[in-house]
Amino acid sequence: MIGLPTDPAPWWLAIALAGGVAFLAFRARSLSGDGALAAFVVGGLGLIVSWAWGIFLIIWFVLASALSRIGRDRKAVRTQDIVAKADRRDAVQVFANGGVFAACAFWALTSDPHSATVTVLGVAAASALTAAGADTWSTEIGTLWGGSPWSLRTLRRVPVGTSGAITLSGTLGGVVGALTLAVLAAVIGMISTSTILAVAAGGIAGAMADTILGAWGQERRWCSRCALETERVVHTCGTTTDYLGGVRRLDNDLVNALCTLVGALVGCALAEIGSIL
Ligand SMILES: [Zn+2]
């Protein structure tokens, strides 16, 4: 494995690198202003833990942004009535995807850098990002190349972009994404090669949790003017939508955060079982 240094980046380099990437993402309209600030904080924390943590986060982010960008116009047209937010990520979305990673980084900074705790936290943080990544990869690939997705809840075909619905290409995209990210984490040196499968499986479990929560838990709303189901509180037509079903205020961001938490817990559990066997 290449294995980047497990040393922390110097603080001034962490600020420059995290700040530079956040600024470029803002300029490229991948992040809003507060989203860029949040990304700077999460990225800086990662780099201060170690080069490996920080560089994995940056590669994860670049891959996710690139996938969001491919066929952006086509995807926007296919999902505009359904999806709650545009693809310019704000601070809430950044923390929904990177909050568990940031919490692990913060915990690692308060621990002895060569302790077993930091090794476990590395698996947890990598699994959390892999879960968010697998979810992003499946959404982006399914939205772009999938046909009409099937709703897990109603077992009927639903419009592209509906939460809790799956396509074959999207599901495969998520599995490929999880494996790619887990291998990258090991190549970079954030996790050991013996935990690649645990991290990948944690990522897939997290993405599955996201889909299941999206199908049954997430708040669904109704635009009476367009007679359409949506996730938006205010529909694209300007009408304020009504509550239709699911858990109130359990929106896509909260579902994403839970997805990364499931990823971290399952990844750690499987790595632990693997080390015993
Ligand atoms: Zn409407």
Calculate what percentage of the chain has a pLDDT beyond 70. Answer: 95
Residues lining ion ligand 1 (Cβ < 5 A) are 223, 225-226, 235, 237, 239
Q: Determine the average pLDDT of the residues in 9-31.
A: 93
CB atoms under 10 Å from CB of 96, counted, come to 23
Going by pLDDT thresholds of 50, 70 and 90, the confidence category of residue 1 is very low
Which pLDDT score is estimated for 57? 97
Q: What are the backbone angles phi and psi of residue 149, rounded to the nearest 5°?
A: -75, 160
What mean pLDDT value characterizes the chain? 90
Q: Determine the average pLDDT of the residues in 188-192.
A: 94
Q: Determine the average pLDDT of the residues in 64-87.
A: 74
Q: Determine the average pLDDT of the residues in 222-234.
A: 88
- Judge whether residue 189 has pLDDT over 70: yes
- Judge whether residue 63 has pLDDT over 80: yes
260: CA distance to ligand 1 center in Å?
31
The number of angstroms, rounded, from the C-alpha of 118 to the middle of its chain's C-alpha atoms is 22
Residue 141: name the closest of 163, 172, 184 by CA. 172
Which pLDDT score is estimated for 53? 95
Q: What is the pLDDT of residues 32-52, one digit of tens each?
A: 999 999 999 999 999 999 999
Distance CA 137, CA 42 (A): 21
159: CA distance to ligand 1 center in Å?
15
Phi/psi region, residue 87 (left: phi>0; alpha: psi -120 to 50; beta: rest), is alpha
Contacts of 208 (CB under 8 A, 6+ apart): none
Which pLDDT score is estimated for 85? 58
Q: Determine the average pLDDT of the residues in 133-137.
A: 94
213: CA distance to ligand 1 center in Å?
24
Q: What are the backbone angles phi and psi of residue 87, rounded to the nearest 5°?
A: -85, 5
Q: Determine the average pLDDT of the residues in 100-105.
A: 97
Contact between 177 and 199 under an 8 Å Cβ cutoff? The reply is no
Radius of gyration of the chain from its Cα atoms, rounded to whole angstroms: 19
Going by pLDDT thresholds of 50, 70 and 90, the confidence category of residue 161 is confident
Q: What is the pTM of this model?
A: 0.90
150: CA distance to ligand 1 center in Å?
23
Distance CA 176, CA 174 (A): 5
230: CA distance to ligand 1 center in Å?
9
184: CA distance to ligand 1 center in Å?
42
219: CA distance to ligand 1 center in Å?
17
Which pLDDT score is estimated for 4? 65
Contact between 141 and 173 under an 8 Å Cβ cutoff? The reply is yes
